[in-house]
């Protein structure tokens, strides 16, 4: 089996990414699989070289190693273009206001579903550079998530024609992640459950390209005691700060205890946890980060 870490270098690693990376690593190592690292620097405005350097250092510090590094996404334009060319796409000139019009359908996680306005619109010679959408006909996608169980979405209703290339020329995450995981031979994708609702659109892309989707495991969110999602802005939960107050073993022990992977809050290394790891121990309920991390 082949698993991967796919961090975005848009900030310092945060407790949520650390948890996801830990679980992805434990799953690979407990199956004697191969671990890939792919830095997802797709977004040129948000990705910073310094964060890429910090990612290598932080993963080493945590004791999470990898067997091979995949190319940076920023260097993969040609691969994405070749895949983009295989899809039925059309340019979209809609303005922000049109996209977020009050009557635009919304789905549960707040995304607006594209109404298909530009399907019939003739290419325009306006100054506006279009985004590109993929044409999605009615289609139901179901898959069995390794943690959350069966998920079904009617894609044209829950996504509509989604963007595969942004107006700034950057290929969309949905397209890039499918190309990279499929071509890298990834068989197991472990990531935060904020991406659970994107997975049917990705599975649909796998099928468009004739690739076999991997097994997906979405790990629960980390939340504050009041149920609020931990924000990336909380500096006391980023690794720069955490490193000053905890050893890697303390940090991993606390995460393992909070997520029911370990029975007590005792320092333990990532490799020390491998033999105790089981997907069955992970629940779908959000993991409450309480006083464990108070210093």
DSSP character at residue 170: P
Cα–Cα distance, 143 to 216 (Å, whole number)? 9
Residue 188 interacts with ligand GLU (CB under 6 A)?
no
Q: Does 282 bind ligand GLU (CB under 6 A)?
A: no
Q: What are the angstrom distances between the C-alpha of 15 and each of 26, 70, 218, 221? A: 16, 24, 16, 10
Whether the CB-CB separation of 49 and 10 falls below 8 Å is answered with no
Write down the least CB distance from residue 221 to ligand GLU, Å. 12
Does the footprint of ligand GLU cover residue 191 (CB under 6 A)? yes
Beta carbon nearer to ligand GLU, 1 or 195: 195
Contact 252, 18 (CB under 8 A): no
Rule CB under 6 A: say whether 196 interacts with ligand GLU. Answer: no
- Of 6-14, 48-56, 120-128, 140-148, the segment contacting ligand GLU by CB under 6 A is 6-14
Q: Check residue 172 for interaction with ligand GLU (CB under 6 A).
A: no
220 near ligand GLU, rule: CB under 6 A = no
CB of 56 to ligand GLU, least distance (A): 15
Binding segment toward ligand GLU, per CB under 6 A, in 4-12, 79-87, 145-153, 285-293: 4-12
Q: Report the nearest approach of ligand GLU to the CB of residue 7 (Å).
A: 5
- Judged by CB under 6 A, which of 2, 6, 186, 252 binds ligand GLU? 6
110-117 LR contacts (CB < 8 Å, sep 24+): 111/159, 111/197, 113/157, 113/158, 113/159, 113/160, 114/159, 114/160, 114/161, 114/162, 115/160, 116/160, 116/161, 117/92
CB nearer to ligand GLU: pick between 161 and 181: 181
Residue in 139, 179, 181, 144 with CA at minimum distance from that of residue 161? 139
Structure tokens at 133: 């959408």
Question: Stretches 3-11, 107-115, 245-253, 258-266: which one binds ligand GLU (CB under 6 A)?
Answer: 3-11
Least distance (Å) from ligand GLU to the CB of residue 173?
7
Structure tokens at 281: 């121990």
Give the span between the Cα atoms of 21 and 6, in whole angstroms.
9
How far apart are alpha carbons 198 and 174 in whole angstroms? Answer: 8
Can you tell me whether residue 212 is helix, strand or coil? Answer: coil
| Residues constituting the chain | 295
Q: Which of 7, 213, 220, 253 binds ligand GLU (CB under 6 A)?
A: 7
Do the strands 68-69 and 34-37 form a parallel or antiparallel pair, or are they unpaired?
A: parallel
Stretch that binds ligand GLU, among 1-9, 106-114, 148-156, 230-238 (CB under 6 A): 1-9
Which 3 state secondary structure label does DSSP give 269? coil
**List 2, 21, 40, 66, residue binding ligand GLU (CB under 6 A):** 40
Q: Determine if 238 is a binding residue for ligand GLU (CB under 6 A).
A: no
For ligand GLU, the binding residues (CB under 6 A) are 6-8, 40, 177, 191, 195
């Amino acid at each position: 089996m082949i698993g991967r870490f796919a961090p975005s270098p848009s900030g310092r690693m945060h407790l949520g990414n650390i948890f996801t990376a830990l679980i992805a690593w434990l799953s690979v190592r407990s199956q004697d699989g191969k671990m890939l690292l792919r830095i997802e620097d797709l977004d040129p405005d948000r990705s910073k070289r310094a964060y890429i350097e910090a990612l290598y250092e932080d993963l080493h510090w945590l004791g999470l190693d990898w067997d091979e590094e995949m190319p940076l996404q920023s260097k993969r334009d040609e691969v994405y273009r070749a895949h983009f060319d295989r899809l039925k796409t059309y340019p979209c000139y809609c303005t922000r206001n049109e996209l977020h019009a009050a009557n635009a359908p919304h789905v549960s996680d707040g995304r607006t579903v594209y109404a298909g306005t530009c399907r019939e619109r003739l290419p325009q010679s306006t100054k506006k550079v279009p985004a590109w959408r993929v044409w999605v006909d009615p289609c139901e996608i179901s898959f069995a998530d390794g943690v959350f169980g069966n998920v079904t979405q009617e894609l044209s209703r829950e996504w509509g024609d989604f963007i595969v290339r942004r107006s700034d020329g950057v290929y969309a995450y949905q397209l890039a992640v499918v190309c990279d995981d499929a071509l890298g031979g990834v068989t197991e994708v472990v990531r935060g459950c904020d991406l659970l609702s994107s997975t049917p659109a990705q599975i649909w892309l796998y099928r468009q390209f004739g690739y076999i989707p991997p097994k997906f495991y979405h790990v629960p969110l980390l939340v504050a005691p009041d149920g609020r999602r931990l924000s990336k802005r909380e500096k006391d939960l980023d690794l720069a700060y955490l490193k000053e107050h905890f050893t890697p073993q303390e940090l991993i022990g606390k995460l393992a205890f909070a997520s029911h992977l370990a029975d007590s809050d005792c320092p333990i290394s990532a490799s020390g946890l491998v033999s105790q790891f089981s997907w069955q121990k992970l629940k779908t309920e959000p993991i409450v980060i309480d006083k464990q991390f108070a210093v």
